[in-house]
Structure 1
Amino acid sequence: MSDRAMPSPRIAVLGAGHVGPVIARVAIEAGYHVTISASGEPERIALITQILAPGAGPRWAADAVRDADIVVLAIPLHKFAVFDPTLVAGKLVIDTMNYWPPTDGVQTMFEDRRYGSSEIVQLRLSQSTVVKTFNHKGYHELEEERRPAGSPERRALGVAGDDPGAVDLVAEVIERIGYDAVRLESLSAGRLFEPGGPVFGASMRRAEFVRAVSVEAA
């Protein structure tokens, strides 16, 4: 009797700046099939991909998304206003972006304080399922702080979303790349991951992370 593992979800990373290649690299090292794209031709990022995310296939965005089960949105937030929602329609989208006016300037779309930034992303990507993670960890730390399961030094990453199945799938990715996933049961709770939130920029183990978000949510 064979013990066949379920095939890993295929991941497309949209964005080849600071964050995208790091996520691509750690996902590849965790055994995932990863493609990556930027705003232009794949040839323009072929060299940077070869150096920063070896094993990731540079593609046109539409090609990368079409074949993916999970799409990582790692573009500068100020470019989201011109992002085409139909590109990711029907897809599970990980939102890694932050609204931080000192960096991006005031973005009118994200000034509605009734919503967290990923809720606003979800409103625009109405045909997609948005999950928030990675945004509260510095890209330069994401690779360095990975640890195997069971390590006393293993850190936590939060995963927030309205769809439990999508949150579970993304949490599995988080666990495989080397972090303990802490699930939050709504996308609105992802506000706790944003700049000024209790876990933004922090390096916490699971218990400490859970306490931090629980106190704020109470």
Structure 2
Amino acid sequence: MKVGIIGAGNIGATLARKLAAQGHEVKIANSKGPASLADLSRNVGATAVPKEDAVADVEVVILSIPFGSYPNLSKIFQNVPEDVIVVDTSNYYPFRDGSIPEVDAGKPESVWVSDHIKHPIVKAWNAVLAATLSERGKQSGDKDRIAIPVAGNDPKAKSVVMNLVEETGFDPVDSGELVSSWRQQPGTPAYCTELTAEQLKAALEAADRSRAASIRDALIKQFMEAGAPVSHDDMVARNRAATT
């Protein structure tokens, strides 16, 4: 498939590498321009392009930018055909993104993104840590394979994204329509807890919307106040403990 990725941080770069390795034709862009991506694009097997070109002549666009930056993308989506699948991998963190009243009031993050860019969205790859995505994918059928939730309104688009999740080394789990994607946002049992498919289904069902934001903020406070860097496994353990 032809895939455009906007955002070249840990998640975007890892997806570019993994999808290019699976034979997809990948373009990658960031806010600084293609010259800043020369080394990365060469290393991962993608083509560095301006943001406007990342959404042109592609079948899938993956957005992996800070949540508060989404309004800046509205203009480049004006001419993107509706049948182009757009995937949101981001998460809202008020300490980083600033307060967004609509999301604070309960609008699911990816619904807010869809409203801003005026294009249907599939939410995926948001509920894994960068190191999980990079290092902990496994072959299909492995009993300990980590699962990733995928939410969206269009069954065909969601199916395509679930196949891409599979190719990146994880079991895709259908988490419902986009309005239900709050179940995979920060502060829920499905978020960055490295669960198998059956465990993830139970975690999605157990999500408590009324507690998610406070759990999210409490965890961020813990991580920021830790006296030493928090290890990957400790981060997963803390996420699990806080949401069960």
Question: TM range, normalised to the smaller chain?
Answer: 0.7 to 0.9
* Structure 1: runs of 5 or more not aligned: 1-8
1-side partners of 2:9 and 2:207: how far apart? 32
The one-letter amino acid paired with 1:143 is S
Secondary structure, aligned partner of 2:207: helix
Q: Deviations over 1:47-85 (max 9, x none)?
A: 23334xx21110122222112111001111121122224
What TM-score, normalized by structure 1, do the two folds share? Answer: 0.87
Q: Residue in 2 aligned with 1:74? A: 64
Compute the displacement of 1:12 (Å).
Answer: 0.6
- Is the 1:29–1:177 Cα contact (8 Å) retained in structure 2? no
Q: Residue in 2 aligned with 1:20? A: 12
The match for 2:103 among 102, 106, 110 is 110
| Identity rate, percent | 28
Compute the displacement of 1:107 (Å).
Answer: 3.0
- Is the 2:189–2:206 Cα contact (8 Å) retained in structure 1? no
1-side partners of 2:101 and 2:205: how far apart? 30
What TM-score, normalized by structure 2, do the two folds share? Answer: 0.78
The one-letter amino acid paired with 2:99 is V
Q: Deviations over 1:103-139 (max 9, x none)?
A: 32323453342x200011111222x220001111011
Question: How many residues of Structure 1 are paired with residues of Structure 2 in the alignment?
Answer: 205
* Structure 2: runs of 5 or more not aligned: 209-244
The match for 1:65 among 47, 55, 59 is 55
Q: Residue in 2 aligned with 1:31? A: 23
Secondary structure, aligned partner of 2:142: coil
The one of the two structures with greater contact order (alpha-carbon pairs below 8 A, sep at least 6) is 1
Q: Deviations over 1:87-118 (max 9, x none)?
A: 645221100111111332323453342x2000
Q: Residue in 1 aligned with 2:127? A: 136
